[in-house]
Amino acid sequence: MYPSSRQQLRQSLRQQRRNLTPQQQAQHAKAIRNHFCLHRNLQQAKHIGIYLAQAGEADLSRLIRYLWRKQRHCYLPCLHSIKPRQLLFVAYTPQTPLVANRLGILEPRNKRPISLKQLDIILMPLVAFDAYGNRLGMGGGFYDYTLAAYKHRFNRQAPKLIGVAHSFQQVSHLTAQRWDVGLNAILTEQRIITRNSHGY
Ligand SMILES: Nc1ncnc2c1ncn2[C@@H]1O[C@H](COP(=O)(O)OP(=O)(O)OP(=O)(O)O)[C@@H](O)[C@H]1O
Ligand SMILES: [Mg+2]
């Protein structure tokens, strides 16, 4: 896919995401939480990288409340104060004070990160995905930079990467760029799409 069509795809899908009604968003949030709860591998995750939805991204707030009730540990991405596109994952509990970062996204005020190796899974937002686990994000390359060391998964401790999306964000095929880090699975309001039959 040429850069211009990647940009066009981003624009049109971001608009569709923003056009969802609050009712549709709430319905998707509930369905996504239910799929997560019923999936054996996801259920077992103890340390979970997660995100706070913005601009129509699939909303995980219900799932976060469920995970807190089940004593799971959630971590939010924060911008690194020096390295421009690096994300740090910082513990997120109901008591965590949040502040808006330079992109206007809320993140924990106290940036004491955990090592990525300690995360079992990372749930990440996306703009488009395909059935092969290719991900198109907002275009900042934040997740690609942050996860570059795990691109080839030689490291068995690597967290499983789970894209979260509305089902209309699926496209037939995305061409992965050399830096793109692929997903193990995609969670939508309709189903969980995995790249093999074993669950991830
Ligand atoms: N590991 C890397 N090495 C070199 N360049 C990278 C790397 N990761 C990302 N980039 C750069 O980041 C830019 C944006 O990447 P890309 O278009 O894949 O963003 P994205 O995955 O859609 O965004 P995001 O993850 O922030 O939602 C690319 O143009 C590329 O130059
Ligand atoms: Mg990318």
Query: From first to last of its 200 residues, what are the pLDDT tens digits of the chain?
Result: 555 699 999 999 999 999 999 999 999 999 999 999 999 999 999 999 999 999 999 999 999 999 999 999 999 999 999 998 999 999 999 999 999 999 999 999 998 999 999 999 999 999 999 999 999 999 999 999 999 988 776 556 689 999 999 999 999 999 999 999 999 999 999 999 987 655 67
Distance CA(160)–CA(50), nearest Å, equals: 12
Q: Give a yes or no: residue 131 inside a domain.
A: yes
For residue 40, the surrounding DSSP H or E stretch is helix 40-44
Q: Is the CB of 141 under 6 A from ligand 1?
A: yes
- Pairing mode of beta strands 160-164, 185-187: parallel
Please give the distance, rounded to the nearest whole angstrom, from the Cα atom of residue 170 to the centre of ligand 1.
20
Please give the distance, rounded to the nearest whole angstrom, from the Cα atom of residue 126 to the centre of ligand 1.
13
Read off the pTM.
0.93
Q: Give a yes or no: residue 64 inside a domain.
A: yes
Q: Give a yes or no: residue 124 inside a domain.
A: yes
CATH number at residue 82: 3.40.50.10420
Half-sphere exposure of 55 (CA within 13 A, CB side): 14
Tell the residue number behind the tokens 């690194």, with chain if given: 80
Nearest atom in ligand 1 to the alpha carbon of residue 135 is: 21
Q: Is the CB of 89 under 6 A from ligand 1?
A: no
Residue with the smallest CA separation from ligand 1 atom 11 is 141
List the domain range (segments joined by +) for residue 86: 3-194
Rg (CA), the chain: 16
Q: Closest ligand to 127 CA?
A: 1
Q: Is the CB of 177 under 6 A from ligand 1?
A: yes
80 CA to centre of own chain: 18
Q: Give a yes or no: residue 84 inside a domain.
A: yes
Q: Is the CB of 179 under 6 A from ligand 1?
A: yes
Q: Give a yes or no: residue 199 inside a domain.
A: no
Q: Give a yes or no: residue 175 inside a domain.
A: yes
Dihedral Cα 79, 174, 119, 143, nearest 10 deg: -10
Q: Give a yes or no: residue 200 inside a domain.
A: no
Number of domains forming the structure of the chain: 1
Distance CA(48)–CA(107), nearest Å, equals: 15
Please give the distance, rounded to the nearest whole angstrom, from the Cα atom of residue 71 to the centre of ligand 2.
32
Contact assessment for residue 194 and residue 156, using Cβ atoms and an 8 Å cutoff? no
Q: Give a yes or no: residue 158 inside a domain.
A: yes
